[in-house]
Amino acid sequence: MDRRKFLKGSVLLSGLLSLSPLELWSLQKGIEQPKIGKAKNIIFMVSDGMSLGTLSMADLYSRNILGKGSHWLNLYHEKKVSRALMDTASASSIVTDSAAASSAFGGGIRVKNGVLNMGANGEKHIPIWQKFKKAGKKIGCVTTVTATHATPAGFCVNSAKRNAEPQIAEMYADLGIDVLMGGGDEFFSSDKREDKKDLYSVYREKKYQIFKNRTDLNSIKKGEKVLGIFSTGALPYTIDKNHLSEFKDTPTLAEMASVAIDQMKEHPEGFVLQIEGGKVDWAAHANDVAALIHDQLAFDEAVKTVMDFAEKDGNTLVIITTDHGNANPGTIYGSDATAHFNSISAYQYTNEYILNKIHKDFSIKDIKDWIYEGNKLILNDDEAKHLLSFYNGLEKEEGLYNYKKLPFKLYSEIQKSRNSVGWISMDHSGDYVEVAAYGPGSELLQPFIKNTDLHYLMLKASSI
């Protein structure tokens, strides 16, 4: 062995080993070292229930059909973000629900499924948005499901039951959340609440601007508190909103994100904002590929809105992730897989909308004609008869958000034979998920983390 070469190599190796992981990362060709500093603002983005297959299919659809890569994946291509895999387990299971997952982010500790920031013995863990509110920052949450749903609530409140949404609506008012937007009119309106409380009046007394549709947002007063409740229940799926005039005055997630940022960005102490694409999860529960892809792409447009602000601002930490996987969809090998997948571009509506339009008086021909109109799929008679059996009460289907017992699983199997997309289940999964971070504090992100780690990363990045 050449002794001089060996010594030279040893010195080089010792030098490399003395470097921090961040410095080693920055030595890789084409990768810039993240900006190190204190984050004045934090924007935490959650595509609820997004399996890796969902992220992949949305990017594939965007490239094949829209002619451009997704904004999230472009952040990887352009090497703008730190990236990690995250373990999403709860205190009670390797497979979390949204309440426990959001509590991991919000409270910094794993709790049992179904509760919000509450320990096994009833102890309350202070939610992170309350910590930031106390530190003088403005706080906000926007979502495509009910504003009182588990994911936004996990950043803001304590509750022994995630389904206590009427009470969570009151907790938000007590907290003084600065911007709150989403669905859930039934938890604010005196006509729909069981206790007949008029929560809108409560918020008005606390000097909130109240908005009920996209047009109303044009009259927003800068800097004042905002309550935007744009539907009963969750907001419509993106693909239905794009094709049905009845939903045209519903804001997109990107529009709500933009309004929220504009309302809080000039606050001297900064702001924190959670943005949730909640109906990605609901689409996965229904094995509804068109709903899933289009709502993931709507979330992706919100990513662009946030990144456009953060890159210009320079003082904003952006975290982009999901709380858990759901149904683990993916494309299936075959000679016509590409053409089959691309056929999803012909789908006009969600499976929910299509299946809700069928009723027991439909003939076999009626079903075949309607399915062709909605998805450009040609059913055979046996498939049409099988679908009709659900409407005649011969068969039933369960499911978390399947209140009308629609045949979501059967229909997704019919679609699978034409679009080459399969699903492992109709529920959450325990697989590791993607995390991307940009801006001051992103250098703190390690390659593999637990969901609770993001709570402490936000606190450290903002130095509170």
The reply, when asked if residue 71 is annotated as ligand binding, is no
Tokens 């996209």 correspond to 214
Known catalytic residue at 98: yes
The reply, when asked if residue 323 is annotated as ligand binding, is yes
The reply, when asked if residue 431 is annotated as ligand binding, is no
Beta partners for residue 422, in sequence order: 330
Burial class of residue 403, CB neighbours in 10 A (0-12, 13-18, 19+): exposed
The reply, when asked if residue 386 is annotated as ligand binding, is no
The reply, when asked if residue 276 is annotated as ligand binding, is yes
Of the candidates 152, 95, 148, the residue with the CA atom closest to the CA atom of residue 129:
152
Of the candidates 47, 53, 105, 116, the residue with the CA atom closest to the CA atom of residue 282:
47
The reply, when asked if residue 149 is annotated as ligand binding, is yes
Burial class of residue 381, CB neighbours in 10 A (0-12, 13-18, 19+): exposed
DSSP code string of 312-350? HHSSEEEEEE-S-EES--EE---TTHHHHHHGGGG--S-
The reply, when asked if residue 428 is annotated as ligand binding, is yes
- Which residue of the set 98, 102, 103, 442 is catalytic? 98
The span from the CA of 276 to the CA of 253, in Å, is: 8
Which one-letter DSSP state was computed for residue 249? T
Q: The tokens of 60 are what? A: 């594939």
Residues whose CB falls within 8 Å of the CB of residue 224, separated by 6 or more in sequence, listed in order:
207, 208, 209, 263
The reply, when asked if residue 324 is annotated as ligand binding, is yes
CA quadruple 338, 380, 292, 215: dihedral sign: positive
The reply, when asked if residue 285 is annotated as ligand binding, is yes
Burial class of residue 363, CB neighbours in 10 A (0-12, 13-18, 19+): exposed
Binding residues for Zn(2+): 48, 281, 285, 323-324, 428
| Residues acting as catalytic residues | 98
Q: Which residues are documented as binding site for Mg(2+)?
A: 48, 149, 151, 276
Question: Residues forming the annotated binding site?
Answer: 48, 149, 151, 276, 281, 285, 323-324, 428
